[in-house]
Structure 1
Amino acid sequence: MRIIQINLNHCEVAHSLLEQVLREKRADIALISEPYKKVETQSYILDSSKTAAIWAGRQPESVQPRQFTHILDEIAQDARHRSQVVIAGDFNAWSEDWGSTRTNARGRTLQETFATLDVALLNTGSQNTFSKAGYGSIVDLTFCSSGLYRRTTWSLSNDYTASDHKYIVCDLEDREQAPTAARSSRFNPASLQPLKFAEELRIPDPSGDVECEVHNTMAAVLQACRASMRCSRGHSRHHEPVPW
């Protein structure tokens, strides 16, 4: 499954470009903030305030309460009843955990709410997802349940959007393909950027569940490896790939 995330800034040109990008990249779902199109169809659903939308080949779902804390509470409540989730959007929240220069009130609220969920942040690197008039920030965030984390690749696209937000592309591997992909590739230690690794390594706070903490710590290490090393194809039949 491929998911594309974008803030269209209510721009008609950006909307038209998105339709083209969805076809070219063969995306299954688009998560849209500040959409241009205000009329729903079977595959394009708006929230009640018409400030967010989800596009899909099939009937999608969408939620967007008016108050920030309320939307997060509703998302968290819904996510607790699901084993596999992807949560994404323009949260307009700053946190040093995802590369902001500081943590604001929205960032703290988002962290505190999602700390109660079994989800991990997919964002990697420190490139801004929003930029305008020389100003930039990381406000477009993507989270997924821990069970999906190892099967998901997150990236920012440099394709032109006609918006002040970048496209975010998430590739989710099929369950049966994940083990093959894991065995057939490994990180190239010669390409390691130590400072980048240290910058990207964010060990989650203790949750009280040892098994969960081990999983989340290994996921954080893997995420740092992805951001600081190149992958190379492994040819050895005698050694399994390791994150470092």
Structure 2
Amino acid sequence: MAEIHLLQANLNHCAAAQDLLLQSMAQWLIHVAVVSEPYMVPARDNWVGDLTGTAALVRLASHGSPPFEKVARGRGCVAASMGSVTVVACYCSPNCVPSDFERFLQEVSRLVRWAHPSPVLVAGDFNAKSVAWGSPATNARGQALEEWAVSLGLVLTNRGSVNTCVRQQGSSIVDLTFTSAALARRVQDWSVLEEVETASDHRYIRYRILPSPAAPNSPGRAPGEAGPRWVLGRLDRELLVEAALVQSWSPAPEGPVDVEVEAEWLVDAMSRVCDASMPRARPCLPRRQVYWWSPEIAQIRQNCVIARRRYARSRRRRRNEAREAELYAAYRDCR
């Protein structure tokens, strides 16, 4: 299995946030996004959602993302297997009572067991606080979530204590990433993106999953390496016949030779014939933006980051509520 790049986000049911997520995936060549509170789950092959519309997985097939092979759904969670890894997207409302939170964890547990024995990644907005992932204190939901993760053998992947949700009323760390023990060491570069506008109160979380060291590589070309291609629409048939005749005069390997040597000679001869009769095709690079993206929108997004940085800086200084309200209003207008 090739390396998988992931993006984790809570979209707050916002259409603009969902649009920005798709642009960010294209810009950073993200294979799969783990989404909490999507604006909507389109009826497309590259989207899968849970039973309540609050958690989803989306992939960009144009970037070589592995397809969703098997899908299982629950209330507040959805799982999909991609190659040797299963990804579970989750969301639990902060307003649910303890009994509802317990039922939510049972739903996620069912999907984790469904994925067995493949490695599993569980990610999303759990709306639970614990010092284990950088919160100032542990609440009841945080304690329950810690015990639940230990019971399933899941490892917390969060690094540092950067807030993942930033609101005017306060900040918190509620977006979490858990993995099975076998997958934990393969998750690299986990980070909260502080300098990116998401059009949501939640920040993006970005990381990647390295290929399994035990995965066998196919013989011959390196994984992901493609052979040369030619533009068949510009084929010159007369040159093709002439080049083939010239190659037929070239001496082939004589005597008892290895079949691999003969195959290599044939491939080399056919490549020269193709080069003589038609141009080579240029590599098809993935698009780094969605169709509606423009420099103007990119500048507006950057302005949002600047306005939010000013507001955040004012909160760290001596409190001036009037100035804070003014800067926050400017940020909201920009967003």
TM-score of the superposed pair, with normalisation by structure 2: 0.50
Alignment partner, residue 193 of structure 2: 157
2:31 to 28, 33, 40: 28
* Structure 2 unmatched ranges of 5 or more: 62-66, 77-99, 216-335
Per-residue deviation, 1:64: 4.5
1:115 aligns to what SS in structure 2? helix
Per-residue deviation, 1:30: 0.7
Distance 2:197 2:214 in 1: 31
Q: Does 1:55 align with 2:92?
A: no
- Quick one: which amino acid aligns to residue 102 of structure 2? T
Give the 3 Å change call, closer, same or farther, for CA 26–177 of structure 1 in structure 2: farther
Per-residue deviation, 1:166: 0.6
Any idea what the Cα deviations from partners look like across 1:110-169, whole Å, max 9, x if unmatched?
A: 111111112210001111000110510000000111111111121111321111101111
- Quick one: which amino acid aligns to residue 131 of structure 1? V
- Quick one: which amino acid aligns to residue 86 of structure 1? L
Q: Post-superposition, which runs of at least 4 consecutive aligned residues in structure 1 deviate over 4 A?
A: none
* Structure 1 unmatched ranges of 5 or more: 179-244
Higher helix fraction: Structure 1 or Structure 2? 2
1:19 aligns to what SS in structure 2? helix
Percent identical pairs in the alignment equals 40
Any idea what the Cα deviations from partners look like across 1:67-88, whole Å, max 9, x if unmatched?
A: 3212212222332423300000
Higher relative contact order (CA 8 A, sep 6+): 1
Question: Once superposed, what is the RMSD of the aligned Cα atoms?
Answer: 2.0
| Number of residue pairs matched by the alignment | 178
Any idea what the Cα deviations from partners look like across 1:25-54, whole Å, max 9, x if unmatched?
A: 111111111101243311112211111111
In the TM superposition, 1:1-244 aligns within 5 A as: 1-56=4-59, 57=61, 58-59=67-68, 61=71, 63-65=73-75, 67-80=100-113, 81-133=116-168, 135-153=170-188, 154-158=190-194, 159-176=196-213
Distance 1:134 1:72 in 2: 28
Distance 1:62 1:41 in 2: 16
- Which region of structure 1 is more displaced relative to structure 2, 58-67 or 31-40? 58-67
TM-score of the superposed pair, with normalisation by structure 1: 0.68
Give the 3 Å change call, closer, same or farther, for CA 134–174 of structure 1 in structure 2: same
